[in-house]
Amino acid sequence: MNADVVIKGGTLVTGEGLRRAAIAVKDGKIAAVDRDDAMPEAREVIDATGKHLIPGFLDSHCHLRDPGKVEREDWSTGTQAAAAGGVTTILEMPIAMPSVHSAETLRNRVAHCKPMSYVDFAFYGAANGDILDNIEAMAAAGAVGFKTFRTDPVPGRENEFIGICCPDAGQMVLTMEKTAKTGLLHVVHCEDQQILNVTMARAKAIPVQDGRAHAASRPEVSESPSVAQCIAIAQATGARFQVAHMSSRNAIDLVRRAKENGLAVTAETCPAYLMFAEEDLFKFGPYAKCNPPLRPQETQDALWEAVREGVIEVIGTDHSPFLVSEKEPFKNDISRAAPGFPGLEQFLPSMLTAVNQGRITLPQMVKVVCENTARLFGLAPRKGHLAVGADADVVLVDMNAKWVHDHTKLYTKARDTALVYDGRTFHGMPTLTMIRGKVVARDSKVVGAAGWGEWIRPQ
């Protein structure tokens, strides 16, 4: 066999460990994983000496929102940001204009986004009591999973949230009964709206409406009761339930017990909750606002322990692009600021920095960002693994590189709202990103082409 590409000289990382190994690529697939001297002849040989080879990251939680508010982000800029950051597959949430709430809107979104995509992608479908008859059709059409908010729609953005919000527990039972029939993962934003109604009203009495007011408006107690209720509903309906962006110590304990009881319950958290604490929210205000809010340092430490323990099985960015005009004017009126900030280009460097800090090992990182995500969403063995037969989605990383974040160099349109990262030193960076055998980025510079990205569906 003659290969298209051989990558040799590096250290291969899987969820099981590290070893010296080379990879041969043929027709976009991994054709061989073996010693350097066992590799076939190839048209191109990439020298990975001194580098680690990891699977391309899968982002389980991404918001690009195209079509819709393309001034915040469009599919081209968002997927270029992914490629530059070593993310080879994004799982995109259903929020858009229109949202993905039917088989038709799913197919239309694929057709709209495919020509602009630099990386592979999959789409969630929306799920709530208003669109029960659409849920199984979306699964049949290729949805990768379902997303529900247990909160009311964001005021003024109701048309982006069609079919997505379900604060009513009875309607959530009906919704999970439907998603259970599909076998797909049901990812839920867990905050209790009735508790938020009280805590948000109380927070408005705080004299200065800054980051402290946002932390008080959505405390940890608003998350854990919603997690507990969803676990109970999942148990009753047989749904596969995953907590989105978990940020509560009590929620960790709830998921741990559910797992011990054999329930199909998993949890995701985000780099924001692992990198930043509420002091950063107090410092950066609207630029560090996200829902749920950044938490105290002791909660961050508990989240890291849950990742190492395997209670948290998935990490996704919750990349949420907004405009400066949706952040800057609200430094002292933070409830009106848009919630979320970008994270695609910082995802892999953040995780490598955590490895160098000793918070997580490289095999644990690959498991929680690549292998588990692919498995839980039905994308394995095609994605998330450096094994024969898998897509040749390979990232070379330099564990020794140190660099200071500069938001002006980002691909995302939301670069000017990424201020919370600026001045931070990252330790580790991607030097090459390959998707299905084609190099799409080198040294954080995109060299791929729009349209290369494929729509990926559960197998």
Which strands sit side by side in the sheet containing 17-20, from one edge to the other? 17-20, 11-14, 52-55, 394-404, 425-435, 438-442, 445-446
Q: Return the DSSP state at 367.
A: I
Judge contact between 42 and 391, C-beta under 8 A.
no
| Mean pLDDT within 352-363 | 98
Instruction: Give bridge partners of residue 426 from the DSSP assignment.
Output: 403
Flag whether pLDDT at 154 surpasses 90.
no
For residue range 42-56, what is the model confidence (pLDDT) as tens digits?
999 999 999 999 999
Flag whether pLDDT at 76 surpasses 90.
yes
The reported pTM is 0.97
Indicate the angle between helix axes 249-260 and 224-237, nearest 10 degrees: 20
Token pair belonging to 342: 């970008």
Q: What is the pLDDT of residue 249?
A: 97
Instruction: Give bridge partners of residue 435 from the DSSP assignment.
Output: 438
356 three-class SS: helix
For residue range 425-459, what is the model confidence (pLDDT) as tens digits?
999 999 999 999 999 999 999 999 999 999 999 98
Q: What is the pLDDT of residue 262?
A: 96
| Mean pLDDT within 115-131 | 98
Judge contact between 68 and 97, C-beta under 8 A.
yes
Domains of the chain (ranges plus CATH)? Answer: 3-53+389-446 (2.30.40.10), 57-376 (3.20.20.140)
Single out the residue of 124, 36, 44 nearest to residue 434, CA to CA. 44
Could you give the residue ranges of the DSSP H alpha helices within 85-134? 103-113
Single out the residue of 422, 433, 431 nearest to residue 401, CA to CA. 431
